[in-house]
Amino acid sequence: MYPDLTLWPLVLVTNFLTPIHQIIAIKSLIAFLTFIVTFLSLNKRFESRNAVLAAIIFTLSGSVLKDLANEMQTGTAIIMIFAFPILFTLKDAIESKKVEPKLIIKTALLMTIVINSHLLSAVVITIIAGLFLIVITVIRKNYQAWLNLAIAAFLTVLLSAPLLYRIVKISKTGLLAPFGKGHVTSESLWNLFSTTSWSAKSTISEIAIVLIIITLIGIKRDKIKQLLPWLSLELLLIIFCTNILPWNLLSHLPIIDTFQAANWRFGIFLGIAPLIMVLINFKERTSRIILLILAVLSFILAFRNSYNFQYYHTANLTVVNKYTSTMVPPNDTVKLTSTGINSNKLSRTLLPDYAPNSAPLQKGSNGASFDPQLSYLITNQLGTTKTKDIPLTHTTTVNSITFKAHNVPKGSISLPVFGYRTLKYRITLNGKPTTAHLNNYGLITIESQSNLKHANYKIEFIQPTLYKALLWMSTILFLVLLIGLTVPIKKSNYFQIS
């Protein structure tokens, strides 16, 4: 379900590569784009050389480095590309004193990118921005900010309509609750700082701690007013990452009950404000010296982190390829080859996320695993009949999957693929249309009136016409708004509300 449209360009430009090399290329592209966008954003507000150094530090530490070297969470990684523009734009919107069309457009476009990359991150950003909006409104009475953000929110909904439509459509089927729903964990304040690392993602990173300490030691009185919003932001994020908040109570609220771990959701943003604080607090020359030292250190520690993980940590791991015949437990770490990345032996890929709520779960797994019998059928690609299980082979296209079987007895056969009541399918048996229903596991089940020596079952998803229309509408609107940012608007007090 995510990331959605934001991942498409990265996939398209790397599709000529083998799967493993494509993953490496996408991760590298995301890191490169993070550096470029971060530099461009900071360069508008700070000296160019300092902006370059800050962008290097941000890219080679914390959440960005974690996604580059240690894991692949493309949803949050794509958001990190636009982290600084998002932060600066929302700050401007919250502090706005009149209706500003370009600010509205920028906010809508950036939040659309967030929603299409990772839904829960959009919720997190909305929570933090909402709290600041309330406080600023109480202090400054800037009600125009609410209007700016309300219009931006409306545009964001329009721009995100294809994704939101799909979520609503599939949710009407009835989906399994996410893993750990209703139980949100968090770190203690001590653990948040004591379990840190250079590439920390769910805790505060070492570089963020260093930057905060440097700022506090060298804090300038005349800069306190400028620093206060960023200090407040960092403090608020820290609080949301920890058990200072009563997460046992908050975990009963809708949407928040799916957070699983609070520090996973808020921790990725902890490395942004400290960089801005250093750039604000110190003179350009002093900032450059500080950032240059930390940038050099970032290169060294990022290389060490990557080398240790890719070579030392993985030196003795099992290699999974198309010939692997034993199951890989869900919590095991292995080396994947391009032929093994889609292996049916990877238990980790059998996650209940977005499965129909009729699918049985393993007892005591807290929603993390399917029932072993269901996992066995899906893993081994077996069709289930009343008398025996039938081995299947399959091929796929973008919108379809075809199973091939031999010596299938007459009657029903349940294929190892979930069906959703609210979605439409075109199903054929040996090229002829046939009807189907869902069994107790939520698997698509097809009837045959005779024994079949050879059977081809094709299940094709029929894309809703409304979805296509929404996709065209949102794409055109996105391009129009993007072009609108380049059109000069005559300055006027017409939009100001006094």
Which residue matches tokens 């809508």?
108
Lookup: tokens for 407: 């010596």
- Do 54 and 126 lie in one domain? The reply is yes
Residue 498 has a pLDDT of: 34
C-alpha of 170 from chain center: 19
Q: Do the beta carbons of residue 172 and residue 131 sit within 8 Å?
A: no
CA distance 420 to 408: 25
- Do 206 and 261 lie in one domain? The reply is yes
- Do 139 and 98 lie in one domain? The reply is yes
- Do 98 and 205 lie in one domain? The reply is yes
Q: What 3-state DSSP class applies to 462?
A: strand
Q: Is residue 360 part of a domain?
A: no
Which amino acid is present at 270?
L
Q: Is residue 269 part of a domain?
A: yes
- Do 444 and 475 lie in one domain? The reply is no
CA distance 191 to 110: 32
Q: What 3-state DSSP class applies to 347?
A: helix
What does residue 445 show for φ and ψ, rounded to 5 degrees?
Answer: -125, 130
- Do 394 and 260 lie in one domain? The reply is no
Q: How many domains does the chain have?
A: 2
Residue 489 has a pLDDT of: 66
- Do 30 and 170 lie in one domain? The reply is yes
- SS3 for 216-275 is HHCCCHHHHHHHHHHHHHHHHHHHHHECCCCHHHHCCCCCHHHCCEHHHHHHHHCCCHHH
H or E element in which residue 466 lies: helix 465-484
CATH number assigned to the domain comprising residue 401: 2.60.40
Q: Is residue 179 part of a domain?
A: yes
- SS3 for 156-224 is HHHHCHHHHHHHHHHHCCCECCCCCCCCCECECHHHHHHCCCCCCCCCCCHHHHHHHHHHHHCCCHHHH
Question: Measuring CA to CA, how many Å separate 307 from each of 204, 304, 335?
Answer: 22, 5, 15
Structural domain of 105: 5-311+471-484
- Do 83 and 57 lie in one domain? The reply is yes
Which amino acid is present at 186?
S
Q: Is residue 334 part of a domain?
A: no
- Do 237 and 383 lie in one domain? The reply is no
Q: What 3-state DSSP class applies to 415?
A: strand
End-to-end CA distance of the chain: 44
Residue 239 has a pLDDT of: 98
Q: Is 446 exposed, middle or buried (0-12, 13-18, 19+ CB in 10 A)?
A: buried
Residue 398 has a pLDDT of: 87
Q: Is residue 224 part of a domain?
A: yes
**What residues in the chain have per-residue pLDDT under 70?**
1-2, 312-313, 489-498
CA distance 212 to 104: 32
What does residue 146 show for φ and ψ, rounded to 5 degrees?
Answer: -65, -40
Give tens-digit pLDDT for 263-295.
999 999 999 999 999 999 999 999 999 999 999
Lookup: tokens for 289: 């010296």
- Do 390 and 282 lie in one domain? The reply is no
Lookup: tokens for 130: 């909402």
H or E element in which residue 306 lies: helix 284-307
Q: Is residue 153 part of a domain?
A: yes
Q: Is residue 353 part of a domain?
A: no
Question: Measuring CA to CA, how many Å separate 490 from each of 430, 487, 493?
Answer: 65, 10, 10
Q: Which stretches of 333-451 are assigned E, i.e. beta strand?
A: 335-336, 382-384, 389-391, 393-396, 400-408, 411-418, 424-429, 432-433, 436-438, 443-448
- Do 277 and 234 lie in one domain? The reply is yes
Q: Is residue 355 part of a domain?
A: no
- Do 278 and 146 lie in one domain? The reply is yes
Name the nearest CA neighbour of 201 among 376, 361, 20, 77: 77
Q: Tell me whether the omega of the peptide bond preceding residue 254 falls within 30 degrees of 0, making it cis.
A: no
